[in-house]
Amino acid sequence: MPADEELLRRARDNDTNAFEQLVRRYMRQVYATCFAVVNSHFDADDAAQQTFIAAYTKLSTFEGRSSFGTWLIRIAVNQSRTILRRRKSRAFIGLVDDPPDPRPDILSELSARRDERNLKEAVLRLPEKQRLSVVLRLNQGLPFARISEILSISEGAARTNYHYGIQKIMRDISKAENNDNGGN
Amino acid sequence: MKCDEAKGLLPEYLTGELSDDQDQAIRDHIGRCNSCGAEFARMRSVARLISMGSTVSPPDSYFSRFPGKVMKRINISTSPQRRPRHYRYLRQAIFVSGVAALALVLLFIWPNDHFDTPGPIARRPIPTEFLVINGPSDEELLSLLGSLDLSETGATVDLLYNADPWEALPDMSDEELEIVLTEILQET
């Protein structure tokens, strides 16, 4: 399997097949990151696609000071925040409602089991930085140094966000389980 | 180690962020304490679910289509209209020089009696304004050239008739293209 650097070199020479390999390599990480910010499949899909398009058009500006993955995830965070701002501003103005998610139950279908549903909801309730720190650390296995680069925060702050994020998830799951048990 | 302290360190224990001493202390504690042991087991199962992407990941069918969607949008955004500016100028230069060549052919090579009756060009004047400003689309170029008698103009027309110089002149450097253009102008 070619290394990122080799694929990048070829992509810069307009080899779109090489860039497509990079898309395949990073699409799950990018999607997970986008979803962690925007909380909607519709917007995450849009942000993930925009991320790769932006990366392709800016390939010449990538200097390799971070890894390509880190650079890409940072673009994903920025694209997602842009979409989130647009969504909030639309909601505030009230002229255009959020576009309906074409597959609103997509995650529910996958998370049929109750504990998974509770987990999903607990993750989505986290503040953005906590959510991203948890998802980037556990879902993508990134070290805190890279998470801090992506989120433009200190490494200590990334650790703190992860720590409180996990603890809040555990508390929320316990509460949800108690409610579920109380309802039965 | 007390339970509060142990539970406070579980997130870092989970991902192996603790020092060797702290790691060992937690391991000993959750081995003895049922409550903390159960808490850690739950946290580990949560982490496993998150690491498997079950909280944020759509089905594989979504990801099997994703690269195609992205590459289609990239190909559209980098279509010939958005190629580097000097390529567009070059394309226009090739076309304009071809039009000039045709004009020369008509003036000096075409027999004079051809002008007695309206020829193809007389029936269909070349809309120079759109050629100079934006250059024609491939369809316009083919349509225009197809309406003319091009038999006398040789290599220039062969080149132009391909309509897309990037297919007609594959992998040429700017210098090589300049040489080709010079040759075309000399031929005319």
Whether chain A has a CB inside 8 Å of the CB on B76: the answer is: no
B59 lies in a domain?
no
Mark whether B153 and B106 lie in a shared domain.
yes
Cβ proximity of B144 and B136 under 8 Å: yes
Q: Is residue A35 within 8 Å of residue B53, measured between CB atoms?
A: no
B163 to chain A, closest Cα gap in Å = 22
Predicted pLDDT at A88: 65
Task: Flag if A120 and B71 touch (Cβ within 8 Å).
Answer: no
User: Which pairs count as long-range contacts for B107-115, CB under 8 Å and 24+ apart, including other chains?
Assistant: B109/B152, B110/B152
Q: Hey, CA dihedral for A157, A160, A165, A168, is it positive or negative? A: negative
Domain count, chain B: 2
Residues 78-97 (A) with a CB less than 8 A from some CB of B:
none
With respect to residue B70, please indicate whether it lies within any of the assigned structural domains.
no
Size of interface A-B (CB pairs under 8 A): 109
Q: Which two tokens stand for residue A73?
A: 């995830």
What gap in Å lies between CA A28 and CA A124, rounded to an integer? 18
State the pLDDT at residue A139.
Answer: 82
Same domain, B40 and B130: no
DSSP letter (8 states) at residue A98: P
Of A88 and B31, more confident: B31
Q: Among A53, A163, A169, whose Cβ lies nearest the Cβ of B73? A: A53
Domains of chain A: 1-102 (1.10.1740.10), 105-184 (1.10.10.10)
pLDDT tens for each residue of B34-51: 899 888 888 888 888 887
Minimum mean pLDDT among A37-46, A118-127, B55-64: which range? Answer: B55-64
**Looking at residues A142-160, what average pLDDT do you find?**
90
Residue A182 pLDDT = 67
Residues B100 and B139 in one domain: yes
Same domain, B43 and B108: no
Host domain of residue B141: 80-187
Report the C-alpha gap between A56 and B96 in whole angstroms: 33
